[in-house]
Amino acid sequence: MCTLSKRIYLFLQKKPSMDFPPRIYLTGFMGSGKSYTGRLLSEKLGYTFIDLDEQIEETAGLPVKEIFSQFGEQYFRETEREALHRTAGLRRCIIACGGGAPCFFDNADWMNAHGVAVFLDIPVPELVRRLESGLEERPLLRGIGQGGLEAFIQGRLAERRAFYTRAAVCCQSSDPELVMRAIGTWCAEVAGFAGIDYGSKLAGTTVIAFYSVQAGHITFYKTARGQDADAFILAHFEQNPWNAAFLDAPLSLPGVYRDPSKGGDFFHREADRATNAMSPMFLGGLTARAMRLAATLELKGIATREVYPGKLAKKMGLDTLGYKTREIAPSALAATLQRVLSFPVHLDSVDTWHAFDALLAYMSGWRYMRGEHETFGDPQEGQIII
């Protein structure tokens, strides 16, 4: 997850958002500064700060080290998970988690599903410097001694890194300003575009999927039956800070229509043949509307890319899990996408396959921003992004 934001295209303006997610979980090795950073960050954002270990101590009536010594680590981890889950309904909170919290049960995925997890990735030499004066105060460091501290940190960090890096945001600093900037940039990036399942003009089947920073999850706008889908999309792009649209509809015609003298396929583009997508010509008026919509958005400075959710679903193996069948609810498959995205999806809103395809369109945009997408077709004729 920490590779997010490594590749941002020029059309996506990097403007750190003034809004932040309702729940921010700080993770990292002991000594990474989660509590220190969390307290200062909460003051800057006007958030409530919660130290998860302090919450556990208050509930148990014992210090963490005593819980470890009297009841063992397994008991502590179960208590820690319960304390973590109690934060689910809180808003405007920064939660500093214990060093091992993301590494047990499904805690790493749970944090991403209920907020934004931030990994403070502090170099080993700095961790050694911060920890060497308080070895006996930390249960996992007792008896190690300063001579074995660096080796212990390196070994334990190697074991835990796979869990830490599941966080949506990675920051190689505990400086509150830099952490706040990293979170703000992440918000601007994931909230800077929308995925659209594009339907007939008045059918009520058009859905926009987007990440809402205020809500803290991917949510949806849906047309009502009889509502003009094109006007609906344009109105929402006026109201939201989206810089790009990933549209599930053909945005070009076969190349033969630009130059009939060269001949070619009058029905399918190269991209359609490569992805088994429906011909733009078969879709007729929908294709014309989509091309007009894209041209209008481009004039407003909003980049528009064509996507094909069905191809992405097949690539991810969702066709074998019940994609667009009556045997499974769309929200059930959306939960599998949430685990890939590692940040929250408003699953209750994925109540139709149109909403699910909008989510897949958003995911194609997310893959595009990360540089993990695939491109099909001739750039002169028109391409499909997966």
Q: Is the dihedral of CA 258, 259, 260, 266 positive or negative?
A: negative
Average pLDDT over residues 74-97: 96
Between 186-190, 328-332, 381-385, the lowest mean confidence (pLDDT) is in 186-190
Please give the tally of structural domains in the chain.
2
Q: Check residue 1 and give its pLDDT.
A: 54
* Residues 35, 160 within the same domain: yes
Q: Encoding tokens for residue 113? A: 């599903």
Would you state the pLDDT for residue 336? 87
Residue 172, pLDDT > 70, answer yes
181 and 327 co-located in one domain: no
The reported pLDDT for the residue numbered 136 is: 65
Q: Residue 2 falls within a domain, yes or no?
A: no
> pLDDT tens-digit profile of 112-138?
889 999 999 999 999 999 998 877 677
pLDDT range class, residue 5, cuts 50, 70, 90? very low
H or E element in which residue 51 lies: strand 48-51
- Which residues contact residue 192 at a Cβ distance below 8 angstroms, ignoring those fewer than 6 apart? 12, 13, 241, 242, 243, 244
pLDDT, tens digit (0-9, with 9 covering 90-100), for 88-120? 999 999 999 999 999 999 999 999 889 999 999
Strand order in 217-222's β-sheet?
217-222, 207-212, 193-197, 244-248, 303-306
Whether residue 120 sits in one domain with residue 199: no
| Residue 289: partners with Cβ closer than 8 Å, 6 or more residues away | 201, 230, 249
On the question of pLDDT at 290 being above 70, the answer is yes
- State yes or no: pLDDT of 267 exceeds 90: yes
Counting DSSP H helices and E strands in the chain, the numbers are 15, 12
Residue 138 has a pLDDT of 74
**What φ, ψ does residue 22 adopt, rounded to 5°?**
-70, -25
Do 107 and 231 lie in one domain? The reply is no
Which of 142, 164, 188 delimits the end of a domain? 188
pLDDT digits over 298-326, tens only? 999 999 999 999 999 999 999 999 999 98
Q: Are residues 184 and 196 in the same domain?
A: no
Any residues with CB less than 8 A from the CB of 194 and at least 6 apart, and which?
208, 209, 210, 236, 237, 240, 242, 244, 245, 246, 362, 365
45, 145, 336, 344, 379 from 340: Cα distances, Å: 29, 40, 7, 10, 29
Is this prediction's pTM over 0.95?
Answer: no
285 within 8 A of 200, measured Cβ to Cβ? no
Inform me whether the pLDDT recorded for 145 exceeds 80.
no
Clarify whether residues 149 and 240 are in a common domain: no
Residue 222 binned pLDDT confidence (cut-offs 50, 70, 90): very high
Give pLDDT tens digits for 352-386: 999 999 999 999 999 998 899 999 999 999 999 99
| Domain range for 165 | 23-188
Look at residue 214 and give its three-state secondary structure.
Answer: coil
